[in-house]
Amino acid sequence: MVLLNDRKEQLTNQNLSNLKLDYDLAIVGGGIVGATLACALKNSGLKVVLIEAKSLEMAAAKRQAYALSLLSGKILKGIGVWDQIFPHISKFRHIRLSDGTYPEIVKFEKEDLGTNFLGYVAEHKVVLTALQEFLSQSDDIKCLCPAEVVKINYEKSRAEIEVKQGETLHKISTKLVIGADGRESRIRQQVGIKTKGWKYWQSCVAFTVKHEAPVNDIAFERFWPTGPMGVLPLSENRCQIVWSNPHERAKSLLELDEKDFLNELEFYTGGLLGKLELVSNRYLFPVKLMQCDRYILPRLALMGDAAHCCHPVGGQGLNLGIRDAAVLAEILLEADQKGEDIGDIAVLKRYSNWRKSENLGILGFTDFLTRMFSNQFLPVVILRRFGLWMMQRVSFIKIFALKLMTGLKGRTPILAKD
């Protein structure tokens, strides 16, 4: 899945002075979440500009894999890009939750929901390249990259954006600015939107391994007192692993020689994957929980990591951003069809009211899991293990938890298609 060379060159090298610089909305941030919103608005009649600081190739080159929920798959299907993504990603039919060496394991099966799969694992390049290719087929959406947003003036009826590309400075006039530029969002910082949250005592070591297990369609969440370990199946008998540990221990794992690191890993995976081979570099990232005080201002909406971020336990982060994009697209399209101003605060409140509370629920859920399981206080240990015992045996608890993990709880965007 590669953009056609001529169209790719046109997207990345077109001169800003030849573009129509009057748009209905400008999306700042061309990652998966920003590109998903742009794709959702394709052929809508709205004129969209997508502004990304990196080239298309560099934006797609990130070496990372994500858990995609069933809901995210439905949203991408509704947009029309799922057929390009689906053949190139892994699917899992089982989920296993366990607490250290405690023998009680919660087993979720696809039959619990009556679905073909319980989720997917997609590499960043596969998803973003498919979205970029989809956008390249639209005349209503312009992609400016690499380009830097220098300044934004929010006025009563429009927002004026100064964009620098090379040595040239140009202005874009738009009804609405979308901040999809990540957890350190400059768009959010420029308007002074405050955030609440905290940094965790943990950092994550992320990497890919090859293994000898006879099946590779199981996603594991293994909880240890030092922190959770997520194991996601990839193609070719590989797994993406995100291993949370206290900062100093995470740093020491990063610095271990490969043999000692794999010995540690084989112990902490409980031998479930057999002999392991490291097939990527290890990289370290700290984790935090963050929720913006507000997602919107007149002429501005934030989504994805620019609005919220959470602990990677459960693989919820990107899925929340994809759902933000689907909801925002739905609300903007409805408003435009009614002749409303899409940058008006009354319109944007519909998005904020929908997504802020739902996101807060998932942020709280991931925080609860992290604190509950990264804990050796005996009453807490007894309580959580009793909870696992109950979850495995009480159907409605099990189904509730599974629907929460797969994105099937809460209000469903119109874009989500079966």
Phi/psi region, residue 336 (left: phi>0; alpha: psi -120 to 50; beta: rest), is alpha
Structure-token pair, residue 309: 């971020």
Structure-token pair, residue 56: 């298309």
Average pLDDT score over the chain: 93
N residues, the chain: 418
- Percent of the chain exceeding pLDDT 90 equals 88
Contact 275, 134 (CB under 8 A): no
pLDDT per position as a tens digit, 39-86: 999 999 999 999 999 999 999 998 899 999 999 999 999 999 999 999
- In the predicted model, what is the mean pLDDT of residues 259-285? 93
Q: Examine the pLDDT at 12 and tell me if it is beyond 80.
A: no
pLDDT score of 165 = 86
State the pLDDT confidence band at 168, using cuts at 50, 70 and 90.
Answer: confident
State the pLDDT confidence band at 7, using cuts at 50, 70 and 90.
Answer: very low
From-to residues of CATH 3.50.50.60 in the chain: 5-61+122-196+288-378
* 302-314 as b/e: b if 16+ CB within 10 A: bbbbbbbbbbbbb
Specify which residues 119 forms β-bridges with. Answer: 92
Specify which residues 234 forms β-bridges with. Answer: 238
DSSP conformation letters of 171-222: EEEEEEEEE-S-TT-HHHHHTT--EEEEEEEEEEEEEEEE---S---EEEEE
Specify which residues 278 forms β-bridges with. Answer: 209
Q: Examine the pLDDT at 18 and tell me if it is beyond 60.
A: no
pLDDT per position as a tens digit, 101-157: 899 999 999 999 999 999 999 999 999 999 999 999 988 899 999 999 999 999 999
State the pLDDT confidence band at 166, using cuts at 50, 70 and 90.
Answer: confident
pLDDT score of 170 = 79
| Bridging pattern class, strands 168-179 and 300-302 | parallel
From-to residues of CATH 3.30.9.10 in the chain: 198-285
State the pLDDT confidence band at 330, using cuts at 50, 70 and 90.
Answer: very high
Name the percent of the chain in helix, strand, coil, to the closest 5. Answer: 40, 30, 30
What angle, 0 to 180 degrees and rounded to 10, lies between the N-to-C axes of helices 317-337 and 32-40?
30
pLDDT score of 169 = 85
152 phi, psi to nearest 5 deg: -130, 130
Q: Is the peptide bond before 214 cis (omega within 30 degrees of 0)?
A: no
DSSP E strand boundaries for 300-402? 300-302, 308-309
- In the predicted model, what is the mean pLDDT of residues 360-374? 94
Q: Which of the two residues, 169 and 278, has the higher pLDDT score?
A: 278
State the pLDDT confidence band at 16, using cuts at 50, 70 and 90.
Answer: very low
Q: Examine the pLDDT at 394 and tell me if it is beyond 80.
A: yes
Structure-token pair, residue 207: 């990497």
Q: Examine the pLDDT at 339 and tell me if it is beyond 90.
A: yes
- In the predicted model, what is the mean pLDDT of residues 237-258? 96
| Bridging pattern class, strands 105-109 and 94-99 | antiparallel
pLDDT per position as a tens digit, 226-239: 999 999 999 999 99
Q: Examine the pLDDT at 9 and tell me if it is beyond 70.
A: no
State the pLDDT confidence band at 311, using cuts at 50, 70 and 90.
Answer: very high
pLDDT score of 167 = 82
pLDDT score of 1 = 35
Q: Is the pTM of this model over 0.75?
A: yes
pLDDT per position as a tens digit, 74-91: 999 999 999 999 999 999
Q: Examine the pLDDT at 256 and tell me if it is beyond 50.
A: yes
State the pLDDT confidence band at 402, using cuts at 50, 70 and 90.
Answer: very high
CA distances from 250 to 209, 265, 269, 350 (A): 17, 12, 16, 41
- The architecture of the domain spanning 5-61+122-196+288-378 is 3-Layer(bba) Sandwich (3.50)
- The architecture of the domain spanning 198-285 is 2-Layer Sandwich (3.30)
d(CA 405, CA 96): 12
